Structure 1
Amino acid sequence: MRFIIQRDRLVQSVQDVMKAVSTRTTIPILTGIKMVATNEGVTLTGSDSDISIESFIPNEEAGDEIVEIKQPGSIVLQAKFFSEIVKKLPKDIVEIEVENHLQTVIRSGKSEFHLNGLDAEEYPLLPQLSEENIFRVPTDLLKAMVRQTVFAVSTSETRPILTGVNWKVEQGELTCIATDSHRLAFRKAKVETENTDHYNVVIPGKSLNELSKILDDHEEFVEIVITANQVLFKAKHLLFYSRLLEGNYPDTSRLIPTDSKTNIILNTKEFLQAIDRASLLARDGRNNVVKFSTLENGIVEISSNTPEIGKVVDEVQSQSIEGEDLKISFSAKYMMDALKALEGTDVQISFTGAMRPFYMKPLHDESILQLILPVRTY
């Protein structure tokens, strides 16, 4: 194998596939990056058997030559060393050549590295998915839906299913739900689908985080293929595979209250900043709790008291308060995460009592909802 390639394109592809390479793997060859050169271009693959990422660098794009293939072939190179080498090469052009016994030479300018390679034939094959059932989502919408839900997945392995985001596709609508049993994030949107199939799968939160980092904002659409145990995201020159979590996701529809006793409308940014200030003295471990109470004239008081540090009281003017007076306590971190995920300048918060879950959503927007369980302090 021998080819000459633009360094910046190689660096970008290596960084993309590195997101799937794990140092802790039971299959030693998966600590490497697989590189295959064909007459069309160069394909790089990284995998940790949960996530696999394939990045393709074409020979030319928009009339510019990116890769010149001298001899097709394949090799697996240690990801840790290969990624560091390509980042630090001196010139904009890199030559990669595989010699006898999988010895690989990387040349750029006056620099020459020799790396021991591994046989690409031993690298596990990527899943072959039948692509009958594809739906398409605009890239910016997909990234927004991930950002607005993935933070609420559980970080505890006691219930593995909760470490993922539940994706449902029904009648041209995608619904994403994440919960760690103390809070819940919900987002739905219309998607382009070619058939009426419906899906109900759970995608690991870790996979969605990596996908979001790697997707280019310039892409127009991402095609998504779902099978029994895998999901594939296809963008231009990029394939991102993730395994799905096994098991049934809990029915979360019962958690969302249908009625409310107190409704409050607040400016999202002002409220977020007040919670942030109140949490300054409530950062310690489990005491990250702020108290929220309604006062007269539409004022909301936000306070926090940590005996050994001090206390803080803050007030926010609401746009309206309807219903019963309220005193409630909740995690400042959960509230700040939820408010950052909401879009829109104003937020409506609906309470059904001091010890019942409450939810919030942007004013006049049913497509996104954040739910939080309160903390018992009163």
Structure 2
Amino acid sequence: MQFSIQQNKLVDAVNDVMKAVSSRTTIPILTGIKISATHDGVTLTGSDSDISIESFIPAEEEGNQHVDIQRTGSIVLQAKFFSEIVKKLPKETVDIEVQDNFSTKIVSGSAEFNLIGLDPEEYPQLPQISDHHAFQMPIDLLKQMTRQTVFAVSTSETRPVLTGVNWRIEDRELICVATDSHRLAMRKAPIESGEISNITSVVIPGKSLNELNKILEDTNDLIDIVITDNQILFKTKYLLFFSRLLEGNYPDTSRLIPTDYKTEVIITAKDFLQAIDRASLLAKEGRNNVVKLTTFDNNSVQISTTLPEVGKVEEDVNCESLIGEELKISFSAKYMMDALKALDSTDIKISFTGAMRPFLIRPLDNDSILQLILPVRTY
């Protein structure tokens, strides 16, 4: 294998596939990046068994030549060294040549590296997924839906299925739900195109979705999404992102969401978030970072924290509307701030069903997203 390639294109592709390479893998060859050259261009692959990423650099695109292929072939190079080398090469063009015994020469300007490669035949094959059952959605919508839900997945491995985001498709609508059993985030969006008849419910690891979000650029181009029994594939023009799915039945979260409310507050999200943030300055010294909310007749709520050994903070925040029973409720400041940041809304509605019942936070003008938080018992 021998080719010349533009350094910036190579660096971008290496950065993408490195998100799937783990140094802790039990399969030695997966600590490497597979590089394959055909007459169409160069493909880089990284994998840790759970996530596999394939990035393609076309030989030519819109009249610009990115790669000059002299000899086709493939090699696996140690990711740790190869990724550092390509970022620091001195010239805009990189020459890569595989010689005897997988020895690989990397030349740029007057810099020349020789890396000992590995046999590409030993690199695991990526899953072969038929895209008969692909559906499409805009990339920026996918990124937004992920950002608004993935933070609520569980970080505990005691219930592995909760470390992922549940995707359900009902009536051509994608419903994304994440919960760690103390809070829940849900986001819905219509699916505009694609074949989705055989898909009901899957659970995608939160880690996979976070890595995908880092790679995808903000654009309203469509991304193809293909789901099988144990894999999901996200496919753009030059990128394939595979993730395994989590096994197990995701809990039925619909019954957690209350439908009747005793107290409803409409409030400006920014003012509320800043008050929670200030109360958290003391609250986070406590065990659970807990703040208390108290409603008042004069259309205001008080956010407060008292720590016997530190002090206390109280702040009144005006509401646009406050109806229903008086309420005192305590909750995690972190959970509330996470939820408010995910909503992306100027005004929010908070619906309470009592001091020890879950409560809902929603944008005032958008019913496609909601956040649910369980209160904390403080007595």
TM-score range, shorter chain: over 0.9
Contact 1:278 1:303 in 2 (8 A): yes
Contact 1:163 1:204 in 2 (8 A): yes
Q: CA deviation at 1:285?
A: 5.7
- 1:35 paired with 2:14, answer no
Q: CA deviation at 1:194?
A: 2.8
Q: CA deviation at 1:219?
A: 5.6
Identity of aligned residues (%): 69
CA deviation vs aligned residue, 1:142-167 (integer Å, no higher than 9, x gap): 00000000000000000000000000
Q: CA deviation at 1:236?
A: 1.8
CA deviation vs aligned residue, 1:270-319 (integer Å, no higher than 9, x gap): 10011000000111362300000001210110001122221111111000
Contact 1:266 1:348 in 2 (8 A): yes
Q: Tell me the secondary structure at the aligned position of residue 15 of structure 1.
A: helix
Contact 2:138 2:219 in 1 (8 A): no
Q: CA deviation at 1:61?
A: 1.3
CA RMSD of aligned residues (A): 0.9
- 1:12 paired with 2:6, answer no
Q: Tell me the secondary structure at the aligned position of residue 282 of structure 2.
A: coil
**Which residue identity does 2:73 align to in structure 1?**
G
- In structure 2, the partner of 1:155 is 155
Q: CA deviation at 1:199?
A: 2.2
CA deviation vs aligned residue, 1:39-73 (integer Å, no higher than 9, x gap): 00000000000000000000011211100001001
Closer, same or farther in 2 for the Cα pair 1:260/1:219, shift >3 Å? Answer: closer
**Which residue identity does 1:271 align to in structure 2?**
F
CA deviation vs aligned residue, 1:198-227 (integer Å, no higher than 9, x gap): 320000000000000000123601110000
- 1:294 paired with 2:310, answer no
Q: Tell me the secondary structure at the aligned position of residue 17 of structure 1.
A: helix
- In structure 1, the partner of 2:106 is 106
Tell me the distance in 2 between the aligned counterparts of 1:312 and 1:103: 65
Closer, same or farther in 2 for the Cα pair 1:377/1:367, shift >3 Å? Answer: same
Tell me the distance in 2 between the aligned counterparts of 1:125 and 1:155: 30
Q: CA deviation at 1:192?
A: 2.3
CA deviation vs aligned residue, 1:83-115 (integer Å, no higher than 9, x gap): 000000001100000001100000000000000
Closer, same or farther in 2 for the Cα pair 1:43/1:262, shift >3 Å? Answer: same
Contact 2:51 2:242 in 1 (8 A): yes
**Which residue identity does 1:223 align to in structure 2?**
D
Q: CA deviation at 1:348?
A: 0.1
Specify every segment of 5 or more residues in structure 1 that has no aligned partner in the other structure, as ranges.
none
TM-score normalised by the chain length of structure 2: 0.98
- 1:132 paired with 2:128, answer no
- 1:341 paired with 2:349, answer no
Tell me the distance in 1 between the aligned counterparts of 2:345 and 2:229: 36
Q: Tell me the secondary structure at the aligned position of residue 283 of structure 2.
A: coil
- In structure 1, the partner of 2:263 is 262
- 1:327 paired with 2:328, answer yes
CA deviation vs aligned residue, 1:335-357 (integer Å, no higher than 9, x gap): 00000000221000000000000
**Which residue identity does 1:287 align to in structure 2?**
N
Q: Tell me the secondary structure at the aligned position of residue 297 of structure 1.
A: coil
TM-score normalised by the chain length of structure 1: 0.99
Q: Tell me the secondary structure at the aligned position of residue 206 of structure 1.
A: helix
Closer, same or farther in 2 for the Cα pair 1:115/1:139, shift >3 Å? Answer: same
Tell me the distance in 2 between the aligned counterparts of 1:117 and 1:293: 64
- In structure 2, the partner of 1:221 is 222
Specify every segment of 5 or more residues in structure 2 that has no aligned partner in the other structure, as ranges.
none
